[in-house]
């Protein structure tokens, strides 16, 4: 019987190739890093939390930096995929922008990505390559996804935008009304409720469409 590529035998994965085991390690590492931070966390802490041996961890990840980088990439990729789906499924540009903004607000307020960014900021000077993996303007960066969406809407006549990069940054700032910085610096004692988030998003969307909406129509939010 032929052995499937990537497997060490029938029903077995090659060393370091089991996605379930990899996920188990990353889940344990996430809990450790969120509790202790990057510097205080050790691979021994991760082995205990993930329920695997230290040898197993090093089969999957070369170092603590590699492990943390993989965790950042996993969390970021999951959100990127959700944003791609939101934008692709939206019936028109206003719906797409509104759904993007609501998802982004949830991302800021309700996930572990902002605490992760705090950890990254703490090691920025010592580990610039690690931080670059998170902040780089890659094709999967959520700002770049929005920028491309705005540029495509301009080509279709749904928006009138000269600088899609600037417009994307403006929309993110307007539709989240400072949530990002407040969350980053732990200045949100009480999470805004969904009604308030929707109010902020809709206000930002109205301002954006009033400025960037097609000039030859009277369409407004």
* Alpha-carbon distances, residue 162 vs 88, 101, 166, 189 (angstroms): 22, 21, 9, 38
The answer to whether the CB of 42 falls within 8 A of the CB of 3 is no
- Sorted by where each begins, the domain ranges of the chain are 16-61, 76-210
Token digits of residue 183:
């969350």
- pLDDT, residue 142, reads 87
Instruction: Tell the CATH topology of 16-61.
Output: Arc Repressor Mutant, subunit A (1.10.10)
Instruction: Tell the CATH topology of 76-210.
Output: Tetracycline Repressor; domain 2 (1.10.357)
Token digits of residue 152:
């495509």
- Strand, helix or coil for residue 9: strand
| Average pLDDT, integer, range 71-84 | 88
Most trustworthy range by pLDDT among 52-66, 111-125, 171-185: 52-66
Measured at the alpha carbon of residue 207, what is the angle toward residues 205 and 211, in degrees to the nearest 5?
Answer: 115
Q: Which of 5-14, 38-47, 55-64 has the lowest mean pLDDT?
A: 5-14
First to last CA, the chain: 61
pTM equals: 0.79
Residue keyed to tokens 């999957």: 60
């Amino acid at each position: 019987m032929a052995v499937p590529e990537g497997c060490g035998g029938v029903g077995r994965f090659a060393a370091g190739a089991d996605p379930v085991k990899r996920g188990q390690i990353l889940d344990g590492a996430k809990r450790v890093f969120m509790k202790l931070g990057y510097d205080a966390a050790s691979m021994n802490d991760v082995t205990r939390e993930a329920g695997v041996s230290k040898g197993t961890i090093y089969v999957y990840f070369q170092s603590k930096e590699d492990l943390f980088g993989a965790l950042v990439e996993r969390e970021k990729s999951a959100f990127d995929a959700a944003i791609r789906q939101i934008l692709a499924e939206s019936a028109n540009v206003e719906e797409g922008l509104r759904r993007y903004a609501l998802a982004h607000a949830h991302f800021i307020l309700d996930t572990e990505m902002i605490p992760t960014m705090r950890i990254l900021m703490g090691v920025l000077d010592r580990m610039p390559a690690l931080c670059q993996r998170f902040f780089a303007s890659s094709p999967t960066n959520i700002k770049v996804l929005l920028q491309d969406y705005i540029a495509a809407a301009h080509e279709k006549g749904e928006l009138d935008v000269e600088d899609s990069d600037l417009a994307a940054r403006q929309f993110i700032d307007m539709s989240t009304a400072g949530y990002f910085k407040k969350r980053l610096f732990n200045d949100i004692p009480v999470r805004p409720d969904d009604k308030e988030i929707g109010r902020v998003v809709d206000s930002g969307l109205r301002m954006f469409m009033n400025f960037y909406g097609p000039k030859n129509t009277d369409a407004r939010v």
